[in-house]
Structure formats: structure tokens, C-alpha cells
């Protein structure tokens, strides 16, 4: 079996949640959301996990999940730090948070040399998404400049407890990504959703729209593009833009517009859930229990 990695972005601060949301137990035996993602990934065929974490979380992270997972699958750790910058750049005074998901994935370039999927630590994606992404990554008919994205139905990805940010996608009739726009403040309103565009304008969005949940399938060639893009990004950041982020969907969207890559959108009908707000935790716990009752998961993972 060819090596195929699952890269999990777990370095986020969890500011809206109010804590380290990636490590909150949601399963009946203390499982966290990542446990279910890893379980589904192994079932699909992935055989290596790369955790992107903050150095100050390392001890807690290994105690809660890392030490267990290392007994089941090959594991690597990389650390997303503020000063992990290209030569010639330094951390601006006053900057307190990492540089975004683009930098997070770039931190993996020395340990990932094989096809890989990228996911968020605090999102539940469902079994279907891992299967279709794994099959894409191990399909020899796809070229090194062809990536994939698991596309979810917007209506399946909303929170009842507040607004969410999603990458709203335009997909052509061949299933290829044409454009992706990071859209914030999305909330359901009757038979549609409303949100703010990147320019701050009010927009209406169809609940059946395809959105990105930051679940991607990449080839190692992506790292060269991330390297170049990060230098360009940093060159345009001023000292008064201390929260600007180098975002993975933006990077991929720019590469698509430049026709440097082609992104195949693999649609998943699974329902997403995750912990964005504290109130979401109870919803996730109940949703996991429903899946256990259906027989999708054992009551205790990784016995």
C-alpha cells in the first residue's frame, strides 16, 4: 500500500470556543473529534498522520490523543510557530497568532513527501469524504498539478449557535473548481442563507451551494507553491495588519485563477458538525451518539 498521509491542522487558538476546542471530549469514552476523523481515515486507507500543533500544546496533546494514536498508525508532529518564517522576514511586534492555514500546511514540507489530505482538527467530515479523497490521491490517472477538494452542501455545514465562515465554491459541469470565495458571517434564514462577502456586502446563498470545509487532497508539489506564495504574502503585510492570515483556500483559489493547478471537487453528502462555539459541544456529543447507535462507530474507538 502506498504511503498516504492525513495532515490535521490543530494549532488554532479556539478563540470563539473559549478554550482548546480540539481537545474537548465528545465521545462516550472520552474520544475527541480527531479520533473519529483518524478512525475514518484509517478505514479509508490512510497510513500516516501528521499533527500540526503549537509547541505549548505538545504535552497535553500527546497525553489526550497522540500517545494513543502512535500505537495504531505512523505519526509525525510539526509545530506552527509565529517565527517560522522565510529568510529575510521576522515576526512583527505585537503579532500574537499564527499566520493561518497556508503557513500551517507549509510547516509539513520536511515530513510529508507523499500524497496527503488536509483537514481541520475540530470538524467532523464523515466517512464518505475520506474514502473519495483517498481514492483520488491513489488514482494514477491524476497529474501532480491536479488536487482535490471534498465539497460539502452548505445546508449540511451550518451551526445553530452562530455564524460560520465557509469557502463558497463555483464548480463547472466537469466537477472542476472555478473559484472559491471565503465568506464570513453565514447564517441560515428560511430556505436560504445570508452572509457577508469578502468586500463586506450582504449576500444571499443557496443552501445547496458547494462549500469547502478545508478538506483537501494534495500532492507534495504544493509545498513549492506555498513557499512562493508565503513570501509574496509576507511582503505585502504591514505592521498594522497584525491579524492578516495566509489562508489555504485563498492560496488554492489563486492557483486555480492562474491556471497553475486544477482542483477536482468531490461532493460529499455527509452532514458536517464541529465545535465552533461552546454551545456546539452538546450537539456534537448527541450527533456522535446517533452514529454509534446506527453502528457506524463502536462505543469505544481504538480499544
**Interval 117-153: pLDDT, tens:** 999 988 899 999 999 999 999 998 888 899 999 999 9
- Rounded to whole angstroms, how far apart are CA atoms 118 and 5? 9
Task: Please tell me the predicted confidence (pLDDT) of residue 17.
Answer: 36
Query: Mean per-residue pLDDT for 189-204?
Result: 84
CATH superfamily, domain 5-146+212-242+262-294, is Spore Coat Polysaccharide Biosynthesis Protein SpsA; Chain A (3.90.550.10)
Question: Residue 204: beta bridge partners?
Answer: 194
Res 218 pLDDT > 80: yes
Res 18 pLDDT > 50: no
pLDDT-derived band of residue 205, with 50, 70 and 90 as boundaries? Answer: very high
Task: Please tell me the predicted confidence (pLDDT) of residue 230.
Answer: 92
- Rounded to whole angstroms, how far apart are CA atoms 158 and 160? 7
According to the per-residue pLDDT averaged within each range, which of 5-19, 38-52, 71-85, 237-251 is highest? 38-52
Task: Please tell me the predicted confidence (pLDDT) of residue 303.
Answer: 66
Res 9 pLDDT > 60: yes
- Rounded to whole angstroms, how far apart are CA atoms 99 and 247? 8
Three-state SS at 250: helix
Of 111-120, 132-141, 157-166, the one with minimum mean pLDDT is 157-166
Query: Mean per-residue pLDDT for 236-257?
Result: 83
Q: Kindly give the interhelix angle for 33-44 and 127-137, rounded to the nearest 10 degrees.
A: 40
- Rounded to whole angstroms, how far apart are CA atoms 237 and 119? 26
Q: How far apart are the first and last CA of the chain?
A: 24
**Interval 249-298: pLDDT, tens:** 889 989 999 999 999 999 999 988 877 777 888 889 999 999 999 999 99
Query: Mean per-residue pLDDT for 109-120?
Result: 96
Query: What is the chain's mean pLDDT, rounded?
Result: 88
User: Is residue 49 within 8 Å of residue 6, measured between CB atoms?
Assistant: yes
Of 49-63, 88-102, 141-155, 217-231, the one with minimum mean pLDDT is 88-102
pLDDT-derived band of residue 22, with 50, 70 and 90 as boundaries? Answer: low
C-alpha cell at 3: 504511503
Three-state SS at 232: helix
Task: Please tell me the predicted confidence (pLDDT) of residue 239.
Answer: 64
- Rounded to whole angstroms, how far apart are CA atoms 62 and 70? 9
Three-state SS at 287: helix
Q: Left if phi > 0, otherwise alpha if psi is -120 to 50, otherwise beta: which for 185? A: left
- Secondary structure of 8-64 in the HEC alphabet? EECCCCCCCCCCCHHHCCCCCCCCCHHHHHHHHHHHHCCCEEEEEECHHHHHHHHHH
Task: Please tell me the predicted confidence (pLDDT) of residue 93.
Answer: 79
pLDDT above 70 coverage of the chain, percent? 94
User: Is residue 127 within 8 Å of residue 44, measured between CB atoms?
Assistant: yes
Res 14 pLDDT > 50: no
Of how many residues is the chain composed? 303
pLDDT-derived band of residue 7, with 50, 70 and 90 as boundaries? Answer: very high
Amino acid at each position: 500500500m502506498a504511503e498516504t498521509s492525513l495532515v490535521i491542522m490543530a494549532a488554532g487558538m479556539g478563540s470563539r470556543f473559549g478554550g482548546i476546542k480540539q481537545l474537548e471530549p465528545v465521545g462516550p469514552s472520552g474520544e475527541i473529534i480527531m479520533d473519529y476523523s483518524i478512525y475514518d481515515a484509517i478505514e479509508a486507507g490512510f497510513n500516516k498522520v501528521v499533527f500540526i500543533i503549537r509547541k505549548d500544546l505538545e504535552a497535553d496533546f500527546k497525553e489526550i490523543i497522540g500517545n494513543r494514536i502512535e500505537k495504531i498508525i505512523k505519526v509525525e508532529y510539526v509545530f506552527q510557530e509565529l517565527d517560522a518564517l522565510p529568510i529575510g522576514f521576522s515576526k512583527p511586534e505585537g503579532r500574537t497568532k499564527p499566520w493561518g492555514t497556508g503557513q500551517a500546511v507549509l510547516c509539513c514540507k520536511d515530513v510529508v513527501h507523499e500524497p496527503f489530505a488536509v483537514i481541520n482538527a475540530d470538524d467532523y467530515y464523515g466517512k464518505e469524504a475520506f474514502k473519495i479523497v483517498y481514492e483520488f490521491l491513489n488514482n494514477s490517472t491524476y497529474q501532480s498539478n491536479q488536487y482535490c477538494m471534498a465539497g460539502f452542501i452548505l445546508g449540511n455545514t451550518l451551526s445553530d449557535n452562530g455564524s460560520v465562515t465557509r469557502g463558497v465554491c463555483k464548480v463547472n459541469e466537469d466537477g472542476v473548481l472555478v473559484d472559491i470565495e471565503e465568506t464570513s458571517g453565514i447564517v441560515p434564514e428560511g430556505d436560504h442563507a445570508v452572509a457577508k462577502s469578502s468586500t463586506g456586502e450582504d449576500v444571499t446563498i443557496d443552501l445547496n451551494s458547494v462549500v469547502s470545509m478545508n478538506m483537501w487532497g494534495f500532492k507534495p508539489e504544493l509545498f513549492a507553491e506555498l513557499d512562493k506564495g508565503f513570501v509574496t504574502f509576507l511582503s505585502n503585510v504591514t505592521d498594522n495588519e497584525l491579524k492578516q492570515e495566509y489562508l489555504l483556500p485563498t492560496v488554492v483559489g489563486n492557483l486555480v485563477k492562474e491556471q497553475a493547478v486544477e482542483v477536482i471537487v468531490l461532493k460529499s453528502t455527509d452532514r458536517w458538525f464541529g465545535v465552533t462555539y461552546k454551545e456546539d459541544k452538546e450537539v456534537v456529543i448527541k450527533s456522535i451518539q446517533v452514529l454509534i447507535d446506527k453502528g457506524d462507530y463502536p462505543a469505544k474507538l481504538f480499544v
